[in-house]
Structure 1
Amino acid sequence: MRSLRWLRSAQNLCAGLKWIPGTEPLRAQVNTRLLRLVHTSSPPGPPKTTTQPNTVTVFEDAFSKEQRNKASFVQVLDLFCGRDVRRRGHVEMIEAALRWMPEFGVEKDLDVYNKLLDVFPKEIFVPQNFIQTMFNHYPRQQECAIRVLEQMEYYGVTPSRHTCFLLAQTFGKLSHPMKKYQRIMYWFPRFKYANPFPVPVGLEADPVALSKLCLERIAADRDARVKVYQLPSTEECEDGSVQEHTHLVGIQSPDQVSLLADHDRSYPVMVEGPFPLWMKKTCVYYYVLRAEPEARKKVELDPERCFYYPLQLDLELERDLGDDHSFDVEDVEEGPVYAMCMTGSGNERTLWKWLQGLEETNPILGEVPVLFRLSSGQNEVSLPRKQEDKPPQEEEEAGQPEHRRMEQ
């Protein structure tokens, strides 16, 4: 409040002075500076980078190495810190390092973020009085530290006590980066275990282990059993060529076994896929064995059942008089899913091996026809491309799925 009174009195003093003719632009400039001192709040949203691209070319060249790992990344930071005691250009260095962190695979490493915050010179940007604290002392350096914390927040990296010590030593306890740190430490523990089905931090590199994890997440049944039908291997043929066998992993629960046993033999079962499933940045594909909704066996009713006392009543007990049911919702009944699998190559030959493995526990598969409804291939999600002009007949043939029927 006292500082605002000083600014107000200074403005009144400047307004009461008699300005020399021809100095009106200088008077407007003084008033503008006084207004800027009062209205010093930053615009909403994250702070933007104000550095020019030419100022970080030297540091961009330092990170462009062939060997990109944590050791080489930390080595570049150590070389910068030991080059100059005053550490000139530390803001450009940190901004360039933030852009190169995903390339080195250290975007989720807490030690590397603490190493970045350690690049700032110590005890220079700490405000010495409340006026410097109020007017955002050294704003460019504080915004750079906030960008480091925002990237930690984006990748889900929880700061440590060492991070708090570095921020307090560099900018003080009342700075904006310290406030950002306090907000992260308030919200992160509350949302850390909000997801009941969290994805593991490090996904398995083995395709068989990754397939087991994905199938267990899709099935969501504790009684479901995962079975490995084929491991990745290579086989030498008689003509000297080498044939590669991809992995083949399937899952089926006891309830799905009973549903498949009650399948009507006059209807075929269908193998459909591939369907994409994203596990963080990894995209995998799975196939399902399903049937149409009308493929279930019809339950024969007892002809001697009394119609005046039915065995089942469909009563809407949860409906209230205040509920609004003016609109109609069309319920689409989906067919039952009997099993699922994951494989590296989704051709009919590999999927037929999966059906042969399922036939050991489901003998009905040897009595019903199998229909393969496979798409063109395993393609990752990409931007739509401009289609070339085709005749109407070719467009209809390209849009139809490939239906093939195989019977034993």
Structure 2
Amino acid sequence: MRSLRLLIAAHKLCARLRPMPAVEPHGTKSLLLRAVHTSSSPGPQVTTPPSNIVAPFDDAFAKNQRDKASFVQVLDLFCGRDVRRRGHVEMIEAALRWMPQFGLEKDLEVYNKLLDVFPKEVFVPKNFIQTLFLHYPRQQECAIRVLDQMEFYGVTPNKHSYFLLVQTFGKLSHPVKKFQRLMYWFPRFKHANPYPVPAHLEADPVALSKVCLERISADRDAQVTVHQLPSSEVREDGTVQEHSHLVGIQSPAQMALLAEHDASFPVIVDGPFPLWLKKTCIHYYVLRAEPAAKKVEEIDPERSFYYPLQMDLDLDRDLGDDLSFDVDEVEEGQIYAMCMSGSGDERALGKWIQCLQETNPVLGQLPVLFRLTSGPREVQEAESPKEEEARRSTEEEGETRPHRRMEL
């Protein structure tokens, strides 16, 4: 009944508005529509230029040198070219695409420079209706894309970023809400990882290998040993041989396990296994045993007061237990040591085994089996034609002889 009354009242209101004069002042109507839907633009009205004369912003970034100074120079030239900054959305989107190529994807100052490209106090809503219906949606979505890229690369905005957003879009805009969400969650998740990755990775391969091996090893008593430093050696025939770095790690518990290894089973050098630290991929190798190499200690039944020692009882289960889920337990061999090498061939890994014999004499009595596989091509460095030919010959030899045994 109430809805019917509302419909009748609306019908009467429309009937009263019909006899309004058809001719009314054009200025009053335009001001009314402008107050409801859009904000007043400063200065005289300017027509939008056609799309064919818009400057190609990608070419502006491609022509300059790839550093921060040239990137900021392009932004300054754009801001000083036109007071109204027409085409600022296309400029900011092009800058976001080119930031990783300039190495500025984690620079907070450059992100604030991008937010400063927006015209100030133009997109601020004037009333509640403009705030409700996403005033200037394209510009607000562009600012949110800037904040999304900052979130993707872990860049925390500061007070200057908030000031630029409020000055451009107002306090109730969607970019400001996105900024508030970032400032709420980023400090809470910043120290959530108990094993954080260092902010700046070492450029030295030996120092980087130490960091990676300490990160992999779960034993704090494990000791990192540098077996070989990167060097070059001149042979008698005049050729130069490059020696890559060789860094290993082993704990006292691993040394004790290796000393108890069954001599009837070989130890295996397996790898390479990739380890990613941010955008850096490093390969490591392990010295392990086969799952069947574990020594099973047989206990005499007479030594125990409880006979038998193991009982396999089929106990009744509750009706609510779900027996459909099953887990396949895969046994793996024990890990005796780990290392990282620049070359990763049998010669370098054989030298690693020889260095381990100083602290593990049992290796001199055990056969060593190499099971090396080629790593993914997308994470390997570019090879020279000679290295590629040698690698292919090694792979062909490995197909006919998959496991090579080395007696030490």
Residues 241-261 of structure 1, C-alpha deviations (whole Å, 9 max, x = no match): 211111111111111000000
1:22-61 matches, within 5 Å, as 58-61=56-59
2:68 aligned residue: 70
What residue ranges of structure 1 are gaps of 5+ in the alignment? 19-33, 39-51, 383-395
The 1:176/1:377 distance shift into structure 2, 3 A limit, reads closer
Deviates more, 1:271-280 or 1:101-110: 271-280
8 Å CA contact 1:374, 1:402 repeated in 2: no
Show the counterpart of 2:169.
171
Select between 102-111 and 328-337 the one with higher mean Cα deviation: 328-337
Contact 1:262 1:296 in 2 (8 A): no
Deviations 1:358-388 (A, max 9, x none): 1111000001111111113563369xxxxxx
Q: What's the CA shift string for 1:336-367, capped at 9, x where partnerless? A: 01001111111111001111111111000001
Q: Aligned residues, how many?
A: 358
Letter in 2 for 1:347: D
User: Which AA in structure 1 matches 2:205?
Assistant: P
The residue correspondences of 1:33-182 to structure 2 (distance < 5 A) are 58-65=56-63, 67-182=65-180
AA partner of residue 296 (structure 1) = K
Give a deviation string over 1:85-128, Cα, whole Å, max 9, x none.
Answer: 22222111111100000000111111110010011111121122
RMSD of aligned residue pairs (Cα, Å)? 3.4
2:194 matches 1:196: yes
Change (3 A) 1:165 1:204: same
State the partner residue of 1:403: 403
Question: CA–CA distance in 2 between the matches of 1:253 and 1:56?
Answer: 64
Amino acid at match of 2:165: L
In the TM superposition, 1:201-280 aligns within 5 A as 201-280=199-278
- Alpha-carbon distance, 1:211 to partner: 1.0
Q: Which residue of 2 aligns with 1:392?
A: none
- Distance in 1 (alpha carbons) for counterparts of 2:401 and 2:16: 80
Does the aligned pair in 2 maintain the 1:291–1:335 contact within 8 Å? Answer: yes
Task: Please name the residue that 2:364 is paired with.
Answer: 366
- Select between 131-140 and 343-352 the one with higher mean Cα deviation: 131-140
1:337-376 pair list within 5 angstroms: 337-376=335-374
Shift of 1:398: 8.3
- Partner secondary structure for residue 277 of structure 1: strand
Residues 375 and 402 in structure 1, CA contact (< 8 A), matched pair in contact too: no
SS of alignment partner, residue 195 of structure 1 = coil
Q: Which amino acid aligns with 1:13?
A: C
1:113·1:148 contact (CA, 8 Å) conserved in 2? yes
Please give the residue correspondences for 1:323-334 in structure 2 after superposition, counting only pairs within 5 Å.
Answer: 323-325=321-323, 327-334=325-332
Provide TM-score, normalisation by structure 1: 0.79
Q: Distance in 2 between matches of 1:11 and 1:79?
A: 59
Q: What do the CA deviations read for 1:147-196 (whole angstroms, capped 9, x no partner)?
A: 11111111111111111011011111111111111121122222222222
Change (3 A) 1:197 1:54: farther
Partner of 1:13: 14
Q: 1:56 Cα deviation (Å)?
A: 6.6
Structure 1 residues 90, 322: closer, same or farther in 2, change over 3 A? same
User: What secondary structure, in the 3-state scheme, does the structure 2 residue paired with 1:331 have?
Assistant: coil
Asked if the contact 1:63–1:76 (Cα under 8 Å) also holds between the matched residues in 2, the reply is yes
In the superposition, the TM-score normalised over structure 2's length comes to: 0.79
Return the alpha-carbon distance in structure 2 between the equivalents of residues 158 and 266 of structure 1: 58
**Compared with structure 1, are the counterparts of its residues 370 and 10 closer, same or farther at alpha carbon in structure 2 (3 Å cutoff)?**
farther
After TM superposition, give the deviation of residue 310 of structure 1 in Å: 6.6
Residue 397 and residue 170 in structure 1: after superposition, are their counterparts in 2 closer, same or farther (change >3 A)?
same
| CA apart distance, 1:236 | 1.6
Residue 30 of structure 2 aligns with which residue? none
Q: CA deviation at 1:232?
A: 0.9
Q: Deviations over 1:116-150 (max 9, x none)?
A: 00111111211222222222222221111111111
Q: Percent of pairs identical after alignment?
A: 73
Residue matched to 1:389 = none
